[in-house]
C-alpha cells in the first residue's frame, strides 16, 4: 500500500481503520493488526503535526523472508530544522534500545509535563516495532518494522 496525502485528523483515524482491515485481509494475527494500526496512526499523526508543507507519504510493505513475514511502515515528510534535530536525538536513543517498555516509561517521566513526545516510544513498546529513520536535507523518513504472523487460512 502506498499513499501520498495531506493528513487531517479525520483522515488519520480513517487510515487506522483501513490498516486494521488491510491486515485482516492479509490474514494477520489480530494482535498484529492492532499493533500495525496503532503504529500507523502514531507515525502519520506525527507527520501531520510536523510536516512543513502539509504533505506526507506512507507505504506499508509485507515481505516474506526466510524467518517469516516482516511488515514495514514507511512515513516520509518535510520537517523544520528544530523538529529534525529533536527527531535525530530520539532516533539515536532508539538505536541502542534493549527494553522498549522501560524506555516508554522513562519517556513518560520526561514528557509528563509536556504536550507530546510519547509517540515513537509508544510505537516501540506498545506496537512492538523497531523504529529507525533517516534525515536528508528537509526530508524525514521513518521506518517501523516488525515480524508478523499470518494464519493458515487465507495465506
Partner 1 sequence: VSIEALSVAQLTTTVGVEGGDLVVALSGNADLDARTKLAEWLRSVHEEVLRLRIQRVVVDLRRLEFMNSLCLNAFVGWLATILELSIDRQYRVHFLWNRDLFWQRKSLSALCRFALRVVTTDP
Q: Does 35 bind partner 1 (CB under 8 A)?
A: yes
Q: Does 24 bind partner 1 (CB under 8 A)?
A: no
CB 102 within 8 A of CB 14: no
Nearer to partner 1, 35 or 84 (CB): 35
Q: Does 111 bind partner 1 (CB under 8 A)?
A: yes
CB 124 within 8 A of CB 131: yes
Q: How far is CA 148 from the centre of its chain?
A: 15
Sequential DSSP letters for 112-154: TTSS---HHHHHHHTS--EEEEEEETTEEEEEEEEEE-B-STT
Grid cell listed for 141: 523518513
Q: Does 6 bind partner 1 (CB under 8 A)?
A: no
CB of 40 to partner 1, least distance (A): 12
Candidates 4, 14, 89, 108; binder of partner 1 (CB under 8 A) is: 108
Integer-rounded Cα Rg, in Å, for the chain is 15
Q: Does 82 bind partner 1 (CB under 8 A)?
A: no
Q: Return the range that interacts with partner 1 (CB under 8 A); candidates 57-65, 79-87, 116-124, 129-137.
A: 116-124
Nearest one of 24, 3, 39 to 121, comparing CA atoms: 39
Interaxial angle between packed helices 30-50 and 9-25, expressed in degrees from 0 to 180 and rounded to the nearest 10: 150
CB of 137 to partner 1, least distance (A): 27
Candidates 5, 18, 55, 126; binder of partner 1 (CB under 8 A) is: 126
Nearer to partner 1, 48 or 140 (CB): 48
Q: Which residues form the interface with partner 1 (CB under 8 A)?
A: 9, 12-13, 16, 30-31, 34-35, 38, 41-42, 45, 48-49, 101, 104-105, 108-109, 111-119, 122, 125-126
Amino acid at each position: 500500500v502506498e499513499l501520498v496525502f495531506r493528513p487531517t485528523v479525520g483522515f488519520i483515524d480513517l487510515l487506522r481503520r483501513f490498516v486494521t482491515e488491510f491486515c485482516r485481509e492479509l490474514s494477520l494475527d489480530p494482535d498484529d493488526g492492532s499493533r500495525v494500526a496503532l503504529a500507523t496512526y502514531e507515525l502519520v499523526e506525527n507527520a501531520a503535526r510536523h510536516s512543513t508543507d502539509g504533505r506526507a507519504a506512507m507505504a506499508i510493505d509485507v515481505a516474506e523472508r526466510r524467518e517469516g513475514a516482516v511488515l514495514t511502515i514507511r512515513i516520509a515528510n518535510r520537517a523544520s530544522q528544530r523538529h529534525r534535530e529533536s527527531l535525530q536525538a530520539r532516533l539515536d536513543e532508539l538505536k541502542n534500545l534493549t527494553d522498549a517498555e522501560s524506555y516508554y516509561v522513562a519517556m513518560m517521566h520526561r514528557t509528563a509535563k509536556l504536550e507530546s513526545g510519547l509517540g515513537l516510544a509508544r510505537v516501540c513498546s506498545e506496537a512492538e516495532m523497531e523504529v529507525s529513520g533517516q534525515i536528508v536535507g528537509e526530508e524525514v523518513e521513518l521506518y517501523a518494522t516488525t515480524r508478523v504472523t499470518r494464519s493458515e487460512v487465507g495465506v
